[in-house]
Amino acid sequence: MTWFNKLERKFGKFAIPNLPLIIVIIYGFGFLMNAVKPEWVYFITLNPHAILQGQVWRLISWIFVPESTMNIFFVLIFLFFYYSIGKNLELAWGKFAFNFFFFSGVFLTVLGAFVLYGYFRFINPGYASAFELGMTSQYGNCTKALGGSWFYSALASEFSTYYLNLSIFLAYAITYPNMRVMLFFIIPIKVKVLGFIYLGVLAFNIIMAFMSGFNIGLISFVSIGSSLLNTLIFYLILRSGKRRFKEIKRQREFKKKVKEASEPVSKIRHKCAVCGQTDVSNPNLTFRYCSKCNGNYEYCSEHLFSHKHIT
């Protein structure tokens, strides 16, 4: 953690505050543009071939590409969910650490795209040429919006925010393994279980891709692996820096207690029996009484399903 602490002391002042909210706004804008003008994504995907031709905005603009087509109801749930877990990670790690995590994921994804481009451009150009020839004979020459190449446009579609968002979720599962979420809105399940399920599905997809051919498997492995590599890096950082993150947590809890002590008691209507957070100290939390506890014990949404019942 020494190198990371030095990095934070030197560049921590440049960390973007409330980055989870900014990410959600970007995603929301992407969903909106996809609904209004779907063809706009052809101009912003992560296409190294087009970037090297001068379309440098694609280095950043690909994070505006929405994961998939959703109705407004699921879009709002998606945005709220990722804002919630992103904000919790920012609180647990600190502003600079969350910035570093997110932007390292962006950088590694871009790096993975260029690695694949270099492989098919210089090491195995025959595969790209065969794909290009087949698509051109069927649909004609590729438009400029697609970056001037059918193959590299198709390759760019493999790099999206889907795996970047999954890395955020996996980081949340590592940080809060026993936290519960409502699967299909009715089934409470620990996030670490969901994390293992996601990893199992990804491993299965990569294996099936390699069974379809080495080149297809390589595309799947690099596109997934590069986007999730930042999760592995931060897992190692979390293991070696438990003391640092515990200190951040203690500082945050101390500030909350000081703030809560300075507020009039009459304003507090709800208080969690586990962590002591109130509707005043954290207005974004929801509070519920537990029917299984003996007494009027109230819990915040973070501890409603994970607390020990009082009998």
Using one digit for the tens of pLDDT, what is the confidence trace for 34-61?
A: 888 888 888 899 999 999 988 999 999 9
Q: Tell me the CB-side half-sphere exposure of residue 123, using CA atoms within 13 A.
A: 7
**Residue 148, pLDDT score:** 72
CA distance 79 to 130: 40
pLDDT for 39: 82
**pLDDT for res 276:** 82
Give the whole-angstrom CA distance, residue 173 versus residue 196: 9
Whole-model pTM?
0.75
- Residue whose C-alpha is closest to residue 168's, from 244, 254, 81: 81
What is the per-residue burial (b if ≥16 Cβ within 10 Å, else e) of 120-154? bbeeeeebbeebbeebeeeeeebeebbbbbbbbbb
Q: Residue 174 has what pLDDT?
A: 85
Q: Give the number of residues written for the chain.
A: 311
245 is written with which tokens? 């993150």
Q: Which of 292, 281, 294 is nearest to 304 (CA)?
A: 292
| Cα–Cα distance, 305 to 51 (Å, whole number) | 48
Q: Which residues of the chain have pLDDT under 50?
A: none
* Helices 242-261 and 72-93, packing angle to 10 deg: 100
Cα separation, 257 vs 197, whole angstroms: 37
Does residue 153 contact residue 164 with C-beta atoms inside 8 Å?
Answer: no
Residue 188 DSSP code: E
User: What angle in degrees, to the nearest 10, is found between the helix axes of 191-212 and 161-175?
Assistant: 140
Between CA 173 and CA 229 the distance in angstroms is 15
Residue pair 119/230 in contact (Cβ under 8 Å)? The answer is no
Q: What is the pLDDT of residue 251?
A: 62
Instruction: Quote the pLDDT of residue 247.
Output: 60
Q: Which residues on neighbouring strands pair with residue 271, listed in sequence order?
A: 278
